[in-house]
Structure 1
């Protein structure tokens, strides 16, 4: 009865319900542009990581780059499959796990002022790790924005589930930079920090009926 009603509604208004369409056609036009943009974004990070590889000196950073490249390659394949089939992919997305501790070094120390490099020979692990951080952070933002625009439930879920992983990747690169002294983290004075952290009070919960 419900299917008959849906078919009647489709015939009357010229529109289609997703349940009556092939899964690989269940995509909105705007969604397809967004999907191409975000998948191209994943591919762009992979391409850049491959270019960075030859300039790396620190084996610890190289290990992070290789682990993230492997993870993103698998994600790329899952997203391509989800886009083309509209169905649950043959492999599920995984959770990205860091191998280093979460300890952050706070405080500032005097360093030489930075300036743009003048030749390829000046490229350092500091430069590369900064580029890596910028790219995965940018991809995390793009994924979050794109997931909000997707109508296909499978592709939307794959994209949304990738956001926490990209956040974790960003933190992984940040921690490396922080431990090397490339990314210093200033703090407020104790009194100011207390003022900021205690600036809110909890609200009473509202019982659900």
Structure 2
């Protein structure tokens, strides 16, 4: 064995011991609160990936889309026939298009009612609150109402929250927070969103 191979083997043995120790110490079983935030692309896409994974195991999943509801959504189109998936859509489009605070608030509360029902259902394994961060930022939803629903959900239920500028109290409550960082975005260089890639 060469010196390089010897060093590599020793390094991998050390890494394996570290990973094995972490796996052995992870003994708690319960649902998680995951937050995908930041200015980068991919937050909703990551959430839909987890939806697909949960459905693949036959779990019941609820998705509430707060902003992009009028847009085509390839993931939703592909998965909506699955009887274990329930999708509730705010269906007003982007708030900067509607420019109607009262109507947007009403539409937000209507789908939040569905979200509360999903968050209280012990049979719903995963709930995605897509772009809910904007509802809190614009004051359409009260943070205490959302926190109460998150804290009182069934123990085995996992929730994914997506959107920029996640509220600090949600970040503090979360088990895992992933911040998507934008390094470059094609849209800023004049490239249109692409069907099947961006939506």
Q: TM-score, normalised by structure 1?
A: 0.23
What is the TM-score of this pair, normalised by structure 2?
A: 0.24
Give 1 or 2: higher helix fraction.
1
Comparing both structures, which one devotes a greater share of its residues to strand?
2
Larger Rg: 1
